[in-house]
Amino acid sequence: MGLELFNTMILLLLVVAAIVALRVKDLLTASVVFAVYSFLMCLLWAEMGAVDVAFTEATVGAGISTVVMVATILNLKRKSSD
Amino acid sequence: MKKISLIPVLVVGVLLLYAADDFPEWGNPTAPASASSLSSHFISNTGVDTEVPNMVTAVLADYRGFDTMFETVVVFIAGMAVLAILKGSSGPFSKNKKYTSSIEPDLIVTNTVRLLVPVIQIFSFYVLAHGHVSPGGGFQGGVVMGASFIMIALSWDLETALVRFPLDKCFLVAALGIILYGGIGLLSMFLGGEFLDYAELANILPVSREMARYHAMLGVEIGVGLTVTAIMFALYANLSTEGKLKGGL
């Protein structure tokens, strides 16, 4: 029961993070929300027992790709026109 | 236009939700992925063949070693491509960017990073070397190692990090990683096996054929780790400064 509640909460937060990342105008905010999304995926994978995948997601998805995205966005216009 | 694009999105979404109903339950032993002869073969034979407790590492570095080798090459080519595009670009993008920020690095941040970086680097070595037994391996260890250099670049500036890991050394180390991987594969070919057939290394190592595969996997993971470390840092260094390699973010 507790595990199911945990799963449901993570999945709901995933949907919220995905929608926020698409709707928000500021690209820097969007990339940070992407990091949140990656970290939630990492939690989900760790909970399902795929620890290797979770580790990769935490380092590459939430770590390096956020840094690279922020580094790129700071060299571009901050606002999305969409 | 936005209204029209909503229609295919909704149609595809409904289709996906409808198809998701056919997925097997999580952990179902009769699911196609678990019931295939391949996964039961790996589960029963990995420990016997290679003495590696972590099955994921054994499949990645040994049974599917060819696949992982070219994944590493893809990482290398990605770094090369970024360098080729950004190197020496005066840049049409660089107008709205001010490089004049020469503020002193923050005392608290730099001293915290000074304490943290050795711990992170030792952890990355642990992740790399212990990847057979616990989760981890070359990719994860390499990324953590690269992140430690990025952390130096973020808290001081890029020059400070480039003194510790110059960009030309980056590409040397990245190429060395791939050569190490391919070299272990080639060596096992010269010793009478097939390409990446690590068991043949038992002819020159004082260990059994199973332990030869165990140790060769470690060598291969070190190669992957070297490439990933160097490329991750080179990617950050080029992307954050548009290839100029001067100044911080």
Contact B147 A76 (CB under 8 A): no
Name the closest residue on chain B to residue A82, using Cα atoms: B2
Cα–Cα distance for residue pair B201/B165, rounded to 1 Å = 33
Q: How far is B21 from chain A (nearest CA, A)?
A: 17
Tokens describing residue A55: 């580790």
Q: Which residues of B157-178 are buried (b: 16+ CB within 10 A; e: fewer)?
A: bbeebbeebebeebbebbebbb
Q: Is A22 on the interface with B (CB under 8 A)?
A: no
| Amino acid at position A19, single letter | I
* Contacting residues of B for A75, CB less than 8 Å apart: 93-94, 97, 239-240, 242
Residue spans of the domains in chain A: they are 2-73
Q: Does A68 touch chain B (CB under 8 A)?
A: yes
Note the ipTM here: 0.84
Return the sign of the alpha-carbon dihedral for residues B56, B118, B226, B76: positive
pLDDT one digit per residue (tens) for chain B, 249 residues: 778 888 999 999 999 999 988 888 877 888 887 888 888 888 888 878 888 888 888 888 888 888 999 999 999 999 999 888 887 665 555 544 555 455 678 889 899 999 999 999 999 999 998 888 888 888 899 999 999 999 998 888 888 888 888 888 888 999 999 999 999 989 888 888 888 888 888 888 888 888 888 888 889 999 999 999 999 999 998 888 877 777 666
A54–B232 C-beta distance less than 8 A = no
Nearest-CA neighbor of B240 among B118, B180, B158, B129? B158
A51/chain B closest Cα distance in angstroms: 6
Per DSSP, what are the bridge partners of residue A26?
A79
Determine contact: A15 vs chain B, CB below 8 A.
no
- The model's pLDDT over A3-48, given as tens digits with 9 standing for 90+, comes to 888 889 999 999 999 999 888 888 889 999 999 999 999 999 998 8
User: Nearest by CB to B232, which of A54, A64, A77?
Assistant: A64
- Partners of residue B127 in chain A, C-beta under 8 Å: 55
SS3 A82: coil
